[in-house]
């Protein structure tokens, strides 16, 4: 590996260079030189505030909703939020990993549809619940494999095109499987997963927490994760240092398909029937969650905490406005406004980081005796 290649990988690939709400990345910034101290400290403080923007936004929403309706912070409603966030949280985790590589996957809502439809049909045909679950998880991974392979091997200009196509194909297959009808019944195990709880905590929420931890380990503590950040930060540099870019890109779409299938299993249990229209437009909620959470749409920056914070924010908006008996149209309007605010925070963060690097470079230059 050349010295140039090592520099590229170090600068663009290390996952600790990404922002994460809960992982204290602001503290990882190199301490600025003594001069100019005041400017560096001010920029650093601004950077910390902006990076915490999505968390502040979520907390502010919770406070506002609690003020507007006393029902919001009741145990029953918090449990409802736990049920509501599970599917969108799973999708957001998968979408976040894809976006880290500068990609996007808009087929995930259709994967939910085909999983819900298939699980019911297979159950009605007498399949054992374990084999039903394995089969539909396999369907999700196969869709992800198709997305990744078509994008990489087909050399299409952007994954949006591929996943837009599979969105339609997979949704159409879901309707073919059910014959356009809603099929009665889902395996009891799925209904328990979708609707069961231990105390006030839904089983599905515990599953989401486990998936979030696993995704964090995969992306922050394993070579696969370092490769993902490297590709998102500098794709050409990643190739130069020998990272198997094509294989990694295919793998992230398989991962997204798997998590979408898990979201489909949760949805199947919650609705209790085989509805091919399940998950319709969920892909937009997943992308909204990732953007609201502060993950960079340019790739190479962000993590699990961004996806979870974003999913919670979207869920709080929806749940709170429903409690207030506000028209569903306002949910879309408010969500759109929050997305704009989150993206602007992301742009502001990048501007502050550029300014910080400039001040740091100037300070180093002033301290150079040569």
Residue found under tokens 């809603």: 182
Residue 186's SS3 state is coil
How many CA atoms does the CB half-sphere of 271 hold within 13 Å? 23
CATH of 3-12+54-348 among 1.25.40, 2.60.120, 1.10.287, 1.10.3470: 1.10.3470
Tokens of 85: 């966030």
Cα separation, 66 vs 73, in Å, equals: 6
> Degrees (nearest 5) of the Cα angle 36, 355, 13?
115
Q: Phi/psi of residue 180, each to 5°?
A: 80, 5
Helices (H), 154-234: 159-178, 188-195, 203-220, 223-233
How many CA atoms does the CB half-sphere of 332 hold within 13 Å? 6
Using CB atoms within 10 Å of the CB of residue 79, give its burial: 0 to 12 exposed, 13 to 18 middle, 19+ buried.
middle
Query: What is the chain's pLDDT, residue by residue, as a tens digit (370 residues)?
Result: 544 454 444 444 444 444 444 444 444 444 444 445 556 666 666 666 667 778 888 999 999 999 999 999 999 999 999 999 999 999 999 999 999 999 999 999 999 999 999 999 999 999 999 999 999 999 999 999 999 999 999 888 889 999 999 999 999 999 999 999 999 999 999 999 999 999 999 999 999 999 999 999 999 999 999 999 999 988 899 999 999 999 999 999 999 999 999 999 999 999 999 999 999 989 988 998 998 888 877 788 888 999 999 999 999 999 999 999 888 778 888 878 887 887 777 777 777 767 776 776 776 666 554 4
């Amino acid at each position: 590996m050349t010295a140039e290649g090592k520099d590229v990988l170090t600068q663009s690939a290390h996952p600790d260079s990404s922002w994460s709400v809960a992982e204290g990345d602001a503290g990882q910034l190199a301490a600025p030189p003594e001069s100019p101290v005041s400017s560096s400290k001010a920029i650093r403080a601004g950077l910390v505030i902006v990076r915490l923007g999505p968390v502040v936004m979520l907390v502010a929403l919770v406070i506002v909703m609690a003020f507007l309706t006393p029902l919001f912070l009741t145990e029953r409603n918090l449990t409802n939020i736990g049920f509501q966030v599970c599917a969108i949280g799973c999708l957001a985790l998968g979408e976040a990993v894809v976006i880290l590589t500068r990609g996007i996957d808009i087929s995930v809502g259709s994967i939910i549809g085909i999983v819900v439809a298939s699980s019911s049909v297979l159950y009605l045909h007498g399949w054992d619940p374990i084999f039903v679950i394995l089969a539909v998880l396999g369907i999700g991974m196969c869709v992800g494999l198709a997305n990744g392979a078509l994008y990489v091997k087909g050399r299409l200009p952007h994954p949006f095109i591929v996943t837009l196509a599979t969105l339609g194909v997979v949704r159409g297959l879901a309707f073919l499987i059910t014959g356009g009808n809603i099929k009665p019944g889902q395996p009891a195990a799925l209904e328990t997963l979708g609707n069961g709880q231990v105390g006030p905590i839904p089983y599905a929420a515990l599953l989401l927490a486990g998936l979030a931890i696993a995704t964090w380990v995969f992306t922050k503590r394993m070579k696969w994760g370092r490769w993902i950040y490297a590709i998102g930060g500098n794709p050409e540099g990643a190739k130069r240092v020998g990272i198997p870019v094509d294989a990694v890109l295919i793998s992230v779409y398989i991962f997204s398909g798997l998590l979408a299938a898990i979201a489909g299993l949760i949805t199947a249990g919650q609705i209790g029937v085989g509805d091919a229209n399940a998950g319709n437009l969920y892909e937009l909620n997943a992308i909204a969650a990732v953007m609201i959470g502060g993950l960079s749409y340019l790739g190479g920056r962000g993590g699990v905490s961004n996806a979870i914070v974003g999913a919670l924010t979207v869920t709080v908006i929806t749940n709170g406005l429903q409690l207030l008996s506000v028209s569903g149209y306002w949910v879309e309007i408010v969500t759109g406004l929050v997305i704009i605010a989150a993206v602007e925070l992301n742009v502001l963060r990048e501007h502050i980081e550029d300014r910080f690097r400039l001040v740091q470079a100037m300070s180093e230059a002033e301290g150079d005796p040569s």
